[in-house]
Amino acid sequence: MVDSLNLKIDKADAYLLLNGLSGIGPISARNLLEYFEGDPTAIFRAKKSDLLRVKGIGEKIIDSLMDSKNHDWVLAENKKIKSRAVSFVTQNELPALLLEIYDPPIGLYVNGELPDRPYVGIVGTRNPTMYGQKQAREMAANLTAAGFCIVSGMARGIDSAAHEGALEAGGPTVAFLGSGIDIVYPPENINLYQRISKNGAVVSEFPFGRKADRRTFPMRNRLVSGVSQAVLVVESAASGGSLITAQFAADQGRTVFAVPGRIDQPSSAGCHKIIREGATLVRSSADIIEDLRPYMLQDQILLNFDDGEKTNGSRDHITENLSETEKLLIRELNEGEQLSLVELEQRIGIGIADTMSALTLLELNRHVKKHPSGKFELI
């Protein structure tokens, strides 16, 4: 049986191989690198007896390290990197904050360029309300204007809204994937993927071809929080990936912010939960900017909804040319609540036919949106 690896490999390829080997996660890799004094090439020259002295390293991992196919895998992976015009960034090139976490990545595949800015993570439900999407986009835009880089997971819902808000503000944004960098998930975000890679970066910890699964998403989430100075949760159910990211952030010593919603809205249950547990309640992007001011690159703040007077003034402008019935409906929907036709009729008391007629006009004029559930929400 082979007693040593004796694989001739340079440092960059050693990191690449260590990252791609089956059974070797970030913690095992960290233990190996610590034992061999930060030199990944030494791992692949080591004797089996030395490897067995490393904490958490057993026969299965050693078999993976000694696999005769490793050299060919490195050649093939480098060919994919070159053909797709991406890079593999090793630990000495990663953002410093990311290296402070308990289980830092061995390296990252990067499509684009990692911005030299402080990062703020924005996460939330895949099934947001219009209110949640609006908050995510506007807060992302305001934070971008203040000099931060928005980071998220490019998932449906709040993640996508946050990326869009950052791009609309003209700033870079970074998307961490729960799959290999060659797999766009969800597939309908292909255009968003391309725009992020041109103004920021799409990033993955996983080798080419790795599909997203229950294990990869939490691994992705720890990187979203790990690279960030703070994490903002915009709408979340009582459980799910957003709260996992918030927990990672708290464990990593990051500030956790949360946007409150209606107390009877299921999509805000997670935000209310973490606020009770100590997350900072956010009324506007100004709250986040004030807390993170020491990390700002520029003192430029755009506030589109920084207090109640401005928000109400904007709504008064919208209702100027509406009928009295339409104004009553706007008032009932003004708190971000989703209500059915029957519920709205009961609140304003003018009859189903008149209520339906007014709602139809509001929908045609893009003041309200009707959900598949039949409930209406203010846009």
- Owner of token pair 């006009």: 361
Q: pLDDT under 70 in the chain at which residues?
A: 1-6, 296-321, 372
pLDDT at 309: 34
- Structure tokens belonging to residue 190: 């292909």
Which DSSP state fits 69? T
- Structure tokens belonging to residue 283: 């009324």
Query: In the 3-class helix/strand/coil scheme, how is 207-246 assigned residue by residue?
Result: CCCCCCCCCHHHHHHHHHHHCCCEEEEECCCCCCHHHHHH
Q: pLDDT tens digits, residue range 136-195?
A: 999 999 999 999 999 999 999 999 999 999 999 999 999 999 999 999 999 999 999 999
- Owner of token pair 């260590």: 18
User: What's the distance, CA 114 to chain centroid?
Assistant: 15
pLDDT at 19: 94
pTM (two decimals): 0.77
pLDDT at 301: 39
Q: Phi/psi of residue 83, each to 5°?
A: -70, -30
pLDDT at 349: 87
92 CB-near residues (< 8 Å, 6+ apart): none
222 CB-near residues (< 8 Å, 6+ apart): 101, 103, 245, 248, 252
Domains of the chain: 1-83 (no CATH), 109-295 (3.40.50.450), 308-378 (1.10.10.10)
The answer to whether 105 and 94 are in contact (CB under 8 A) is yes
User: What's the distance, CA 66 to chain centroid?
Assistant: 36
